[in-house]
């Protein structure tokens, strides 16, 4: 079983990203969307937490949500893959289940 986790809240505002990272099984994937996309940025107080999970879990971020917030793809944490909406759909089809950390 592999799960796609989606996180749509800023890591500064809610603990949904830290809970998701703590509870995501090895081999699952995390997609950062909406305000959750802010968690993909390098150089923040939460960057190390996100980098730390990436040896076990693939992390993705939705590009249009980065662009809306003026966040440059160049400043995304190394190893996080930027996807578009069709990439989002592809991720949902590649995984057995989807867990939304609302």
Partner 1 sequence: MATKKFMFVNRKAPYGTVYALESLEVVLIAAAFEQDVSLAFVGDGVYEIVKGQSTDGIGMKNFSPTYKALGDYEVTKLYVEKESLEARGLTLDDLMDLVWEDEDEDYAEKPSIRLVSAAELAAVFDEQDVVLSF
Longest dimension (CA), the chain: 36
Which span sits near partner 1 by CB under 8 A: 15-23, 44-52, 53-61, 91-99? 44-52
**x/- site string to partner 1, residues 3 to 32, per CB under 8 A?**
-----xxx-xx-------------------
| Residues 75-94 close enough to bind partner 1 by CB under 8 A | 75, 84
Smaller CB separation from partner 1, 42 or 98: 42
Residue listed under structure tokens 């996807």: 83
* Torsions phi, psi for 99 (to 5 deg): -120, 120
What backbone torsions phi and psi does residue 65 show, to the nearest 5 degrees? -75, -30
Question: Residue 38 Cβ, how far from partner 1 at the closest point, in Å?
Answer: 6
- For the bound state, the minimum distance from the C-beta of residue 57 to partner 1, rounded and expressed in Å, comes to 22
Give the Cα separation of 87 and 10 in Å (integer): 21
Paired residues of 100 in beta bridges: 6
Q: Is 34 left (phi over 0), alpha (psi -120 to 50) or beta?
A: left
> Contact positions toward partner 1, by CB under 8 A?
8-10, 12-13, 34-36, 38, 41-45, 47, 63-65, 67-72, 75, 84
């Amino acid at each position: 079983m592999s799960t796609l986790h989606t996180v749509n809240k800023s890591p500064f505002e809610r603990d949904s990203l830290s809970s998701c990272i703590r509870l995501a099984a090895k081999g699952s994937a995390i997609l950062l969307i909406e305000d959750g996309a802010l968690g993909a940025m390098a150089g923040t107080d939460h960057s190390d937490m996100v980098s730390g999970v990436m040896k076990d879990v693939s992390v993705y971020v939705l590009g249009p949500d980065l662009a809306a917030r003026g966040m440059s793809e160049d400043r995304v944490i190394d190893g996080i893959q930027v996807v578009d909406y069709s990439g989002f759909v592809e991720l949902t089809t590649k995984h057995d289940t989807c867990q939304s950390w609302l």
